[in-house]
Amino acid sequence: MVIFQSMLSVLLKSVIVISLLVFPSLAQLAPSESRILLQVQELLEYPPVLQSWTNWTNFCYIPPTPSLTLVCQGSHVTELTVIGNRTNPSSLGSSPARMNFVASHQSLSPKFSIDLFFTVLTKLSSLKVLKLVSLGLWGPLPAKINRFWSLQVLNMTANLISGTVPPEIVLLTNLRSLVLAGNLLQGSVPDLRNLKGLHVLDVSSNFLGPQIPSLGNTLVNITLRNNTFRSQLPPELFKNSRSLRRLDLSYNELSGQFPSSLLSLSSIQYLNLAGNKLMGALPMNQKCSDGLAFVDLSFNLLSGKLPMCLKSNSSNRVVIYSWNCLSIPASKNQQHPSSFCHQKALAVKPTEKTHKQQASKGKLGLFLGVAGATIGALGALSLIIFAIIRRVRSRRAERNSSEVSDSHKASARLLVEARNLSPVMRLAVHGLPPYRVLHLEEIEEATDNFNQSNVLGGSQGDELYRGRLRDGSKVVVRCFKLRQRHSVQNLSQHMEVISKFRHRHLVSALGHCIDILEDHPNSVNTVFLVFEYVSNGTLRSHLDDSRRQGVVKWPQRLSIAIGIAKGIQFLHTAIAPGSTGNDLKIEHVLLDENLTPKISGYSLRLPSMVGSESNRSGEDLLDHLSSSEDGEKQDIYQLGVILVELITGKPIASQSELDVERIQLEQSLAAAPSSLRSAADPSIHGSYAYESLRTAAEITINCLSKDAAKRPTIEDVLWNLQYSVQVQDGWTVSGENPVARS
């Protein structure tokens, strides 16, 4: 009886199990999807694992094996797992030089087109799980991968996929697991914080780097092992990751301090940082999370002693710390000798390394100016942005090394400061999409493959294109060919600085794309900078007769003036040292649809470069920028010129015209109110409170002071303009008859 019962229960269980297995497959696959699968078989060049597929195969009934699983739901394929026998690229050697097609029996034939392959595959629009492992896929991942809108698991381990990880991957919003391990990917990993459901990321054994990617807090399992991540690890790395259980950063070239807070992350179980260049001592009182079962710190340059919780193996924790520079008697013969440690510590100092690279290549002097100009088109004005990146040629071969390393320190400081933007400054970028690194394909798409009809200007090797991103936003793309190759890392640092100069009142960079040379994966020859497109023409055009139909009255002019002043304040103070000597002109002030002013033509002076170039002369592009204080005062003067134009409405083309206007304004301030009225633009008559205009005119005159030292600071200017607004507001609210007053 008992035996019978247990037999029955076994039988029942197996019935349930069988029906669970079979049920989802009962469906008949849509004929179109069957055709797609046969096409996939063909495009994959009939791998052994798919040998049995014919046009008679009922795909939903194929029994799953470890190397082939097909799951149907309704009449659609929801899972496709194909594991081939074309093994890992590791056998090809680890040289990233073989980035593109590698002719070997490990890869699909030269005829294979990954683009076509994904065009076909993405028609399986219900796919939730896609695993294509060891199939010899080669070529760059196409951007259209984002068409798999329901994809949850993507595993493309051990293929020969090259190029960068396409930023479009972040549009796969259902993605939970992203595995691209063992390919030939290079460059930076896009910011994955938008993938809110991502739990597993494994990009190990590629050539990715140098920056550790930005990852969200939902990740549980992160494997970045065996790449070329070279950055320093910020101390607060993964600080808010409550769910992170497994972190593998081993075998990269990470430098700087070991971020010891990783040891106490609430869910951490496995931590592997072996084989990097981490230095310094860990804090003795550092706590380890209770669940931490494995820590590997071996093959680094850590020194001092270890915190208590890492001192030794215990029943529930394995700790590996051999081959560091630790002073732990028990492991003395498994640590490097101090002479080695000393030498290595010097060698990995980033200053030294970069300096040598730069000196040998000829220095990259990067001066970025973004200048606006206008082009008439069908009566509308469109914007051109000039971003001038210029390499300043190295004059002398030999170079004083302390000078260079100083300048490098300055650049390191700048970068640190740029990272630590105050909350106020972060607010400043409100309204702009986050800065991002774009994929070359996105640039190509935006400019319609650099179609001539989209050229806005520029010269050969330095063109400007009008473009439209996939989200519909209009942009201006500047394509700049560097005359000489530069290291990706070096250029990325500059891009990082550029990415911080974003403000509501600046024509701001939205992103960039660095085109990495295929045969020299660490060098660059083209940079694309993408800027917002400001649609409503220049401020000048709004003050001109043709446009003045009641558009820009005094209150609007005041708020435009304040916007410009805030933009200048940001340039001077947001990031130390600020950007000064910005060649401010009314033609460089652009307006958007809401008449919000945005300054173009500002310059980004990169101190690391300028510092080292300071004792040059002649054609030097940077000569007109004297000290930053002079530059500040020069900006104030130029703001004064713009204010004169806002008040008088007259275009000012020369110093003598300016002098005439300034003197007239100055005299009218001393005379009766009617005198100022006659100096002001007739088209603002009736719209201003006298006191408001007077305050603005006074600060304008001060800005134009011949003696630079007497010119006000930008804060003074802002204060006065804001006072002027208050007076104006009070006047408007009290309902005084504008006509009677002015």
Ligand X SMILES: *[C@@H]1O[C@H](CO)[C@@H](O)[C@H](O)[C@H]1NC(C)=O
- Please say which residue, 83 or 561, places its beta carbon nearer to ligand X: 83
Output the smallest distance, CB 58 to ligand X, in A. Answer: 14
- Please say which residue, 59 or 533, places its beta carbon nearer to ligand X: 59
Contact 277, 251 (CB under 8 A): no
Output the smallest distance, CB 221 to ligand X, in A. Answer: 4
- Please say which residue, 320 or 595, places its beta carbon nearer to ligand X: 320
Output the smallest distance, CB 609 to ligand X, in A. Answer: 35
- Rounded to whole angstroms, the Cα distance separating 501 from 508 reads 7
Residue 354 binds to ligand X (criterion: CB under 6 A):
no
Residue ranges of E strands in 93-174: 129-133, 138-140, 153-155, 160-162
Please list every residue from 105 through 144 that binds ligand X, using CB under 6 A.
Answer: 105-106, 131, 133
Q: What is the 3-state secondary structure (H, E, C) of 248-300?
A: ECCCCCCEEECCHHHHHCCCCCEEECCCCEEEEECCCCCCCCCCCCEEECCCC
Please list every residue from 212 through 251 that binds ligand X, using CB under 6 A.
Answer: 221, 223, 226, 245-246, 251
The span of 310-318, 369-377, 524-532, 592-600 binding ligand X (CB under 6 A) equals 310-318
Is the backbone of residue 95 left (phi > 0), alpha (psi -120 to 50) or beta?
beta
Output the smallest distance, CB 319 to ligand X, in A. Answer: 5
- Please say which residue, 316 or 614, places its beta carbon nearer to ligand X: 316
Output the smallest distance, CB 49 to ligand X, in A. Answer: 9
The span of 80-88, 517-525, 623-631, 682-690 binding ligand X (CB under 6 A) equals 80-88
The structure tokens listed for 670 are 């001393």
- Please say which residue, 245 or 585, places its beta carbon nearer to ligand X: 245
Contact 526, 456 (CB under 8 A): no
Contact 273, 259 (CB under 8 A): no
Label residues 376-409 b or e (16+ Cβ within 10 Å = b).
Answer: eeeeebbbbbbbbbbbbebeeeeeeeeebbebbe
Output the smallest distance, CB 225 to ligand X, in A. Answer: 6
Output the smallest distance, CB 66 to ligand X, in A. Answer: 8
Q: What is the 3-state secondary structure (H, E, C) of 54-112?
A: CCCCCHHHCCCECCEEEEEECCEEEEEEEECCCCCHHHHCCCCCCCCCCCCCCCCCCCC
Q: Which of 33, 202, 442, 632 binds ligand X (CB under 6 A)?
A: 202
The span of 314-322, 449-457, 523-531, 570-578 binding ligand X (CB under 6 A) equals 314-322
Output the smallest distance, CB 80 to ligand X, in A. Answer: 13
- Identify the bridge partners of residue 376 per DSSP, sorted by sequence position: 381
Residue 176 binds to ligand X (criterion: CB under 6 A):
no
Q: Which of 179, 282, 689, 718 binds ligand X (CB under 6 A)?
A: 179
Residue 312 binds to ligand X (criterion: CB under 6 A):
yes
| Residue length of the chain | 742
Residues in contact with 573: Cβ distance below 8 Å, sequence separation at least 6, in sequence order? 714
Output the smallest distance, CB 158 to ligand X, in A. Answer: 7
Output the smallest distance, CB 57 to ligand X, in A. Answer: 10
Q: Which of 94, 314, 401, 449 binds ligand X (CB under 6 A)?
A: 94
Contact 260, 236 (CB under 8 A): no
Residue 313 binds to ligand X (criterion: CB under 6 A):
yes
Residue 319 binds to ligand X (criterion: CB under 6 A):
yes
Residue 74 binds to ligand X (criterion: CB under 6 A):
no
Output the smallest distance, CB 516 to ligand X, in A. Answer: 18
Residues in contact with 665: Cβ distance below 8 Å, sequence separation at least 6, in sequence order? 644, 647, 648, 676, 679, 697, 700, 701
- Rounded to whole angstroms, the Cα distance separating 681 from 551 reads 13
Please list every residue from 622 through 661 that binds ligand X, using CB under 6 A.
Answer: none
How big is the site for ligand X, counted in residues (CB under 6 A)? 31
The structure tokens listed for 364 are 């990259």
Q: How many CB atoms lie within 10 A of CB 553?
A: 17
Residue 41 binds to ligand X (criterion: CB under 6 A):
no
Q: Which of 318, 347, 427, 551 binds ligand X (CB under 6 A)?
A: 318
Is the backbone of residue 252 left (phi > 0), alpha (psi -120 to 50) or beta?
beta
Phi, psi of 411 (to 5 degrees): -70, -35
Output the smallest distance, CB 227 to ligand X, in A. Answer: 8
- Please say which residue, 281 or 320, places its beta carbon nearer to ligand X: 320
Output the smallest distance, CB 194 to ligand X, in A. Answer: 20
- Rounded to whole angstroms, the Cα distance separating 88 from 181 reads 10
Cis check for the bond before 210: say yes or no (omega within 30 of 0): yes
The span of 82-90, 370-378, 696-704, 728-736 binding ligand X (CB under 6 A) equals 82-90
The structure tokens listed for 576 are 């130390």
Q: Which amino acid is at 467?
A: G
- Please say which residue, 245 or 502, places its beta carbon nearer to ligand X: 245
- Please say which residue, 245 or 466, places its beta carbon nearer to ligand X: 245
Nearest to 732 by CA among 552, 556, 555, 563: 555
- Judged on CB neighbours under 10 Å (0-12, 13-18, 19+), 459 is exposed
Nearest to 90 by CA among 134, 49, 46, 47: 134
- Please say which residue, 184 or 510, places its beta carbon nearer to ligand X: 184
Residue 252 binds to ligand X (criterion: CB under 6 A):
no
- Please say which residue, 131 or 662, places its beta carbon nearer to ligand X: 131
- Please say which residue, 205 or 499, places its beta carbon nearer to ligand X: 205
- Judged on CB neighbours under 10 Å (0-12, 13-18, 19+), 574 is buried
Residue 86 binds to ligand X (criterion: CB under 6 A):
yes
Residue 32 binds to ligand X (criterion: CB under 6 A):
no
Output the smallest distance, CB 303 to ligand X, in A. Answer: 17
Output the smallest distance, CB 55 to ligand X, in A. Answer: 4
- Rounded to whole angstroms, the Cα distance separating 183 from 166 reads 14
Output the smallest distance, CB 120 to ligand X, in A. Answer: 14
Residue 157 binds to ligand X (criterion: CB under 6 A):
yes
- Rounded to whole angstroms, the Cα distance separating 677 from 668 reads 8
Residue 48 binds to ligand X (criterion: CB under 6 A):
yes
- Please say which residue, 241 or 668, places its beta carbon nearer to ligand X: 241
The span of 185-193, 198-206, 392-400, 565-573 binding ligand X (CB under 6 A) equals 198-206
The span of 166-174, 200-208, 341-349, 471-479 binding ligand X (CB under 6 A) equals 200-208
Q: Which of 126, 177, 538, 579 binds ligand X (CB under 6 A)?
A: 177
Residue ranges of E strands in 421-473: 436-437, 455-459, 462-468
Contact 533, 474 (CB under 8 A): yes
Decide the pairing of beta strands 509-516 and 200-202.
Answer: unpaired
- Please say which residue, 315 or 459, places its beta carbon nearer to ligand X: 315
Residue 323 binds to ligand X (criterion: CB under 6 A):
no
By beta-carbon distance, which residue lies closest to ligand X? 90
Output the smallest distance, CB 214 to ligand X, in A. Answer: 20
The span of 88-96, 230-238, 628-636, 673-681 binding ligand X (CB under 6 A) equals 88-96
Nearest to 380 by CA among 592, 534, 545, 537: 537
Q: Which of 14, 19, 65, 90 binds ligand X (CB under 6 A)?
A: 90
- Terminal-to-terminal C-alpha distance of the chain: 109
- Residues contributing to the site for ligand X (CB under 6 A): 48, 55, 83, 85-86, 89-90, 94, 105-106, 131, 133, 155, 157, 177, 179, 182, 200, 202, 205, 221, 223, 226, 245-246, 251, 312-313, 318-320
